[in-house]
Structure 1
């Protein structure tokens, strides 16, 4: 596996040569690529070996040299429970979903309840737009085998690997829950918005509670899923309407706790957590909120390179994390 920032001509040459690729970049550049064994998604922000930057005239390409087979599927929003069809023994699957559509919402809410997804590594990201164009431009994903662009569907690539190659999926999270005695928040319904919640055992309006607590909305809510701490980031808090919006859905009946404040500044904490965990040989993506809150523009972040996305996927939709897929080769 190798990761490279390439010109349109260079990326096209890789496709024509038969490489299996995941490609991130500006929609206008993705649309000009030839047909081949690749999937792509719109992304404008990246961390490269030169640091974080907005890139619109080149493409971030990951080549899966270890893959012996690749099947690309387009999955409509109402059929997302079918993602695991095509999983290959000992393989891994990549998934790209455009932001803010029906597919985005359905996957985010339904994925945790679909045990079939956890049968092998499922890793991917949510395609986005330029930040100043949110609400004006559409995020897109592309099935490179047909050249078709999709604004509201998932693109999945099922990969089969050579003998002796083992895929490992990891979530890197800089946040921890504030502690066993911290505030507990339980939601009665799943979704991207919430009004009332059970807060420390009493039903209260969440927006007004957070406002009264002077909550730092850069800190996510964290749930413990079988020992893994997973974040839900806060998009907005409106005390007047009583509505809190999230970048990923909260799940009904799950106990959430506030994240503890970071011991260092955001960028230092993130770089420290990645040390010795992520290399340029991994397929990885990072959250656009980490890019913004950590002021990563122009900064190199440990060994990580990759797109800054509108959501990371490790079986389910995540926020403010880094997700990495490592391909281990037997000695």
Structure 2
């Protein structure tokens, strides 16, 4: 695959030539693109070859020359559980969902229960806008089959691969669980917000707990799913209402720990990313971009959109998702 920053005109030429593409950029640029084998989503934050940057005049384009075919597809909210019905045997699927949408919430909370979701690699991200535009502009996704933009639902690109090719979908999480007490949320506290949490068998107000323990809320909650560490990032703490809001849902009954503090966020991320990433698709979290001060800094050879959530089968936070296509062993 190939990652490039292209003008809207250059991207349009690729699409018209039949390229299979996943595209990220400003809404006005995506709206200029012709119909074809592509999907797109809004963001103006990127990690480029020169480092992290806000880019409004170009599109980040990933081309999949390995694909023997691709079918873009828009899925409304009420049909999200049918994501896997478009899977191509032996292929992979790319997905984009607008931030703050009903689809975002439904996928985050119920995605793990969608029939056959895990039957092939599913990678993608939650689209966003410049932080100055929050509440003013809606994050969008674009369906290349029609060229239409949507602020609700999901867009999918179901890609076919020739025999002898394999897909590796992986995540890079620089966080580890800390040594603090286990935190457990009980029904009905599971979801994008919580008032109470169970600590050492005692129910306490979570906002008060974070304040009393002087927790750095840039650090996520981390759950261990059979060896895979999955983050839930803290969005806001309202002490007056006693409510903590999250960028991804907490799951009732799952044991979380606050992440171990990092000596240097930027250094930890750079070391974790390492030298890999050439020829791979990747997306990185806006919180990594902000907290890690990645503007102007490189993340190894990983380039791609900076997003409001990452998808590697399920919704993730503060995580780099990477997808690679190679010859099967």
Q: CA deviation at 1:71?
A: 1.7
Aligned counterpart for 2:284 among listed residues 283, 286, 291: 286
1:316 and 2:314 equivalent? Answer: yes
Give the match for residue 212 of structure 1.
212
Tell me which stretches of 4 or more aligned residues in structure 1 moved more than 3 Å.
Answer: none
Give the match for residue 229 of structure 2.
229
CA distance in 2, matches of 1:217, 1:151: 29
Local SS of the residue matching 1:67? coil
TM-score by length of 2: 0.97
CA distance in 2, matches of 1:141, 1:269: 32
Give the match for residue 7 of structure 2.
7
CA distance in 1, matches of 2:91, 2:54: 32
Q: What per-residue deviation string (whole Å, max 9, x for no partner) do you get for residues 38-91 of structure 1?
A: 000001000110111000000000001101121222111122111111212221
Which consecutive residues of structure 2, in runs of 5 or more, have no partner in the other structure?
none
Q: CA deviation at 1:115?
A: 5.7
Give the match for residue 185 of structure 2.
187
CA distance in 1, matches of 2:242, 2:63: 47
RMSD of equivalent CA atoms: 1.1
Change (3 A) 1:174 1:115: farther
Which consecutive residues of structure 1, in runs of 5 or more, have no partner in the other structure?
none
Alignment of structure 1 residues 79-118 onto 2, 5 Å: 79-114=79-114, 116-118=116-118
Give the match for residue 200 of structure 2.
200
TM-score by length of 1: 0.97
The answer (yes or no) to whether the contact 1:3–1:280 under 8 Å persists in 2 is no
Q: CA deviation at 1:244?
A: 0.1
CA distance in 1, matches of 2:210, 2:112: 26
Q: What per-residue deviation string (whole Å, max 9, x for no partner) do you get for residues 112-135 of structure 1?
A: 233621111110000001110101
Local SS of the residue matching 2:236? strand
Give the match for residue 295 of structure 1.
293
The answer (yes or no) to whether the contact 2:84–2:115 under 8 Å persists in 1 is no
1:257 and 2:257 equivalent? Answer: yes
The answer (yes or no) to whether the contact 1:80–1:107 under 8 Å persists in 2 is yes
CA distance in 2, matches of 1:24, 1:242: 37
1:164 and 2:164 equivalent? Answer: yes
